[in-house]
Amino acid sequence: MAVFKVEGGHRLRGEITPQGAKNEALQILCATLLTPQRVVVRNIPRILDVMQLIELLRCMGVEVEQLAEDAYAFCARDIDFEYLKSDDYRQRCTRLRGSVMLIGPMLARFGVGYIPKPGGDKIGRRRLDTHFLGFQKLGAKFNFDIADEFFMVEGRELKGTYMLLDEASVTGTANIVMASVLAEGTTTIYNAACEPYVQQLCRMLVSMGADISGIGSNLLTIRGVERLGGTEHTMLPDMIEIGSFIGMAAMTQSEITIKEVSFGDLGIIPAQFARMGIHFEQRGDDIYIPSQEHYEIETFLDGSIMTIADAPWPGLTPDLLSVFLVVATQAKGSVLIHQKMFESRLFFVDKLIDMGAQIILCDPHRATVIGHNHERRLRGTMMTSPDIRAGVALLIAALSAEGRSVIQNVEQIDRGYQNIDARLNALGANIVRAE
């Protein structure tokens, strides 16, 4: 098991380019199953979760060709259905949360989809009801083998319909959209997730010949077509990584330029960092963050304590709350972090408390942070990364801390952040990867 040995207290300086969006990649790669023709995808992040999905597609019978470091071509002419019932398929899927999005395209094109209970971060309850209720609305039959924890969905003749999703699930919306594009008639999805990742998926499907309107809203209308063709698609930069770098710059009092961020797709993220007192400039499509000795959290207009909470897009993504929490530990002022979506995501705060942070964990969903205003630095310590986003938050804390920190289980960070140690070391960080 790999560890990061981090020497804190170094100020970073320079330019860094964010990787392609992990959450978009998982959807886009699954969508390549919808056509027997060649699909080229660019700006793919070379991270563990994405590489595992590419390898899974290859094992399923998809022809995969690497065109460049971040570009691949996929051709799903033939799928090995026997492999889908194998132990190897089961094991690969259970390591990967995104594997659940294989069902939608498989169902649309072949009339059947198999998937074991997917893996991913243990960050609380992540139910799949939305996915399967959507498939059932389209006319598919759903079967779950409790003993084997294996899902099977079958629907040879999917019919378009109206559906109101029980929650605005990103992966649920993506899965249902992919299942609907080849269904007969018109499908209307209300309370659809409208994150940039879903918008990108819809645009890619349209370029393949799908008929989708309402892209970017919570009401999608999909008119089924007989077949989809090949296309080329370039993924957005990863907004979570961009937010992580902004927080890292503030915590370490560093001067950093984040290159090619696709600023218009960042939504409320920049404004939320501004409310934390963090200064930055938009320079073309780059974000320049100057070195700041102090940053002060705003209060609400009535003087009450600032609350930062996650919400469906265009609200704040839950994946960044861990970063906002750690950034608040060195701010001037106090803030309430409210993680509404997942009940286990704040449990890493005990590591920050061990480092000297002033945090009150109110309940599984809420934590109050009293900032140190950089007057008292965090202390280096030994810690373990519980999930991707908490892992990078702990890395940010370690970079700003006094002394040496050791972060165990960094494979969790590798699942979402490409070559993060080398990229930060290039800016002046001191991170050593050891086995």
Give the strands of the sheet with 382-384, arranged side by side. Answer: 382-384, 404-408, 3-7, 431-434
According to the model, what pLDDT value does residue 125 have?
42
Give the chain's length: 435
Pairwise CA distance, residues 3 & 57, whole Å:
30
According to the model, what pLDDT value does residue 385 have?
85
Listed in order, the ranges of the chain carrying CATH 3.65.10.10 are 3-19+237-434, 22-234
Which of the following is catalytic: 49, 121, 238, 310? 121
H helix or E strand, kind and range, residue 132:
helix 129-137
According to the model, what pLDDT value does residue 124 have?
40
Q: Largest Cα–Cα distance in the chain?
A: 65
Give the strands of the sheet with 255-258, arranged side by side. Answer: 13-16, 255-258, 286-289, 281-283
According to the model, what pLDDT value does residue 8 have?
95
Give the strands of the sheet with 186-190, arranged side by side. Answer: 162-164, 186-190, 219-223, 211-213
Rg (alpha carbons) of the chain, rounded to whole number: 22
The encoded tokens of residue 82 equal: 């026997």
According to the model, what pLDDT value does residue 189 have?
98
Distant-in-sequence, close-in-space partners of 302: CB < 8 Å, separation ≥ 6: none
CA distances from 120 to 92, 94, 96, 138 (A): 11, 8, 5, 27
According to the model, what pLDDT value does residue 123 have?
36
Positions in the chain whose pLDDT score sits under 50? 120-126
To the query of whether residue 354 is one of the catalytic residues in this protein, the response is: no
According to the model, what pLDDT value does residue 119 have?
54
Q: Is beta strand 255-258 parallel, antiparallel or unpaired with respect to 13-16?
A: parallel
Task: Please say whether the beta carbons of 315 and 269 come within 8 A.
Answer: no
Cα 195 to the chain's mean position, in Å?
Answer: 11
Q: Which of 3.65.10.10, 3.40.50.20, 3.30.420.40, 3.90.380.10 is the CATH number of 22-234?
A: 3.65.10.10
- What CATH architecture is 3-19+237-434? Alpha-beta prism (3.65)
Single-letter amino acid code for the residue at 73: A
Task: Please say whether the beta carbons of 51 and 70 come within 8 A.
Answer: no
CA distances from 211 to 220, 232, 265 (A): 10, 17, 23
According to the model, what pLDDT value does residue 345 have?
81
Please state the pTM of the whole predicted model: 0.92
In a 3-state reduction of DSSP, which class is residue 275?
Answer: helix
